[in-house]
Amino acid sequence: MSDPGFAGEIRDVDFADALGERYLSYALSTIMSRSLPDVRDGLKPVHRRILHAMQQLRLDPASGYKKCARVVGDVIGKYHPHGELAVYDALVRLAQEFSQRYPLVDGQGNFGNVDGDNAAAMRYTESRLSAVAAAMLEGLDEDSVDFRSTYDGEEEEPLVLPARFPNLLANGSAGIAVGMATSIPPHNVGELCAALQHLIDQPNCAVPELAAHLPGPDFPTGGVLVESAEAVAEAYATGRGSFRLRARWERETQPHGLYQIVVTEIPYQVQKGKLVERIAALLAERKLPLLADVRDESASEIRLVLEPRNRNVDADVLMEQLFRTTDLETRVPLNMNVLDAAGVPRVMNLKEVLQAFLDHRREVLQRRSRHRLAAVARRMEVLRGLVIVYVNLDEVIRIIREEDDPKAEMMARWDLTEVQVEAILNMRLRSLRRLEEIALRKELEQLGTEAGGLEALLASPKRQWRALAKEVAGIAAEFGGDTPLGRRRTLIGAAPAEVEIPVAALVEREPVTVLCSEKGWIRAIKGHNVNLAEQKYKEGDAPRFAIQAETTDRLVVFGSNGRFYTLAVGRLPGGRGQGEPLRLMIDLPNEHDIISMFAHRPGLKLLVAAQDGRGFLIDGDEALAQTRSGKQVLTPGADATAAVCVPAEGDTVAFVGDNRRMLVVDLAEIPEMARGRGVILQRFRSGGLADAKVFRLAEGLSWRQGENRTRTEFDLTPWRSARGGAGRSVPQGFPRSGKFG
């Protein structure tokens, strides 16, 4: 049996408190040690440990390469006790020129590509530090930053790198922690240095002054930044925002008036392979009717070829459609949530980030200066002792040869320190030449001058800022300017004007016949030569509307509630089945019915009227609705509903009531309105309006008699009257349904 005395301490703890405490510990660990970068060097712990391990392996830019497996092994064995794949993925990203604006690792081998292909295994790839990483590590062994023990206590690692290079904004960062995230796009280091110089010269400047030096991010894959200057400045002022990034493209002219579009740069972090697949899928789904084909002709440079459907396609309209439907246009978020110098996560604006970098560099400058000053003082102490040797050379030799304790004798004789005596005793005989004495005195003089300069630097903040300004100028000269690495890659463009894409450009144009049954089931059958007699409907249903249209048309529906509804013909269900209920596509109340349905034609005028005999003319373009709830145009009176909606093509209109009385009036007597109840068209003692028809008086009034017969009445004098009359009995042979047919 086990001894209960070894059970340890047992405490009663509330489960919610225990869970909260542990989750908080996890959250802090994620925020501090994994997801958020440090504002001073712009690195997360894993990246900092990779660079430090590579420096310990002496993988500087001038040395040879070593296997990445060797680097990963040192990182996880000494500094970062996590999975090797996670460390290798971080190392690979630091070496990818399409991921890092200024790569920190110089890779040799397959490190992946912009198509989304993975890097080769770590046993095949090699790496070393880049010149940018060397600038980040410069002065690390000069007491410039604090160190801490590693996880096993056997090694030490830096808390932060000296970071002569402004890495946070230059390379950007992204990460998701617990309850917070960061997203910082990369920028051009030359522009960053210009902003840093301005901040050094004008410490009290406002954020917009600094933003004037930063027109926007500079992505390694180029592209075109299409964001207004005001939006960019606002994002930098608050530390939050987003940037609209588009692919860069050009139009290549071909023989016979043809052309093709060539995409040469794609947005940041968009995988080219998936982008091409997306465009091809949209083509297969016929959602890009203006595009005929897409080809990937990329080699070392990106070259995506887009072929328009024909020479009449507007290139701007085609690209606008692609920008809206594919990742040829993306939004890059800005959320400058970082760890400050005290390790506290917070969102900083542009000035705070730049000031934190300068404050860090000033502290590094002070620490390196004090370190160097201490080293100079130690060397000068030794040199002063060595000079005594040359002044009293014979006596020093005698003491060393004859005295039992020459060290104590020399310290007492010439008031030397123990360090000086040790240096004298460790001198080589060849150093006793006269030339060596001259060199020592010259070195002592130079060190004295250097020590004076360091002391003056440490005592003068003005000199420190002047030294930082010189350092920033050096960074700009080394990594900025017109060098291949420093040249701006992302084009700064103005916010694009809104390009209206015609409806015809969204759907491939094809002839269709729209069928709608009495119960409101709607479908679109390809072609106009449709045998209506062969079409099948649900049991108990029957045909009602058959409209010839094209997939690019808009279908207008007029309900008995006086509202117009608009549907895209190209989005109607196909004709393989029996369609779908129209009421699922528009908000037509169950107590109301469909009065009319037709394909919209620009410039068409309509006559609308209610059962109470009131109505008016309306421009057909005004009847188009933008939402599924429709557009209220005709307002029927009490106990009345909308009854008629017919095209107003002609000069005369005939009305027929339920009482079988017909009235013919001039169309000019009916006013055109935008909405309302309308004017009195025909009066009724009983019943209401049954039907109306607009026609040309010279062509006569026609109506259908039976299935295949039509009758036309030319002499309409008995029924002609002014608007608002009651009319006379319909002509002999008029349909009993009271409809013109």
**Angle at which helices 84-95 and 45-56 cross, to 10°:** 80
SS3 content of the chain, % helix, strand, coil (to 5): 35, 25, 40
CA distances from 299 to 65, 113, 302, 369 (A): 26, 11, 7, 50
C-alpha distances (whole Å) from 225 to each of 209, 228, 246, 304 are 20, 9, 6, 19
Q: Which helix H or strand E contains 73, and what residues bound it?
A: helix 68-74
Coil/strand/helix, residue 738: coil
- Residue 91 near residue 133, CB atoms below 8 Å: no
Sheet of 652-657, strand order: 689-695, 652-657, 661-666, 728-729
Which among 131, 139, 30 is positioned nearest to 367, based on CA atoms?
139
User: What is the side-by-side order of every strand in the sheet holding 563-568?
Assistant: 594-599, 554-559, 563-568, 631-632
CA angle at 192 for the pair 188 and 198, rounded to the nearest 5°: 150
| Catalytic annotation present for 124 | yes
Residue in the block written with tokens 């006086």: 562
Strands (E), 494-583: 511-517, 521-526, 543-550, 554-559, 563-568, 580-581
Give the H/E segment covering residue 472: helix 461-479
CA 305, 306, 311, 315 torsion-angle sign: negative
Distance between CA 85 and CA 72 in Å, rounded? 9
What are the structure tokens assigned to 333, written together? 């978020």
Rg (CA), the chain: 42
Q: What is the DSSP letter of 545?
A: E
Given the residues 88, 124, 259, 390, the one annotated as active site: 124
- The three-point CA angle 192-193-195 to 5° equals 65
Helix (H) or strand (E) holding 128: strand 126-129
Give CA 352 to chain center in angstroms. Answer: 24
The amino acid sitting at 134 is A
The Cα-based distances of 528 to 8, 48, 439, 583, 626 in angstroms read 87, 69, 104, 25, 27
Helix (H) or strand (E) holding 167, with range, is helix 167-171
How many residues comprise the chain? 741
Separation of alpha carbons 311 and 330, rounded Å: 28
Catalytic residues: 124
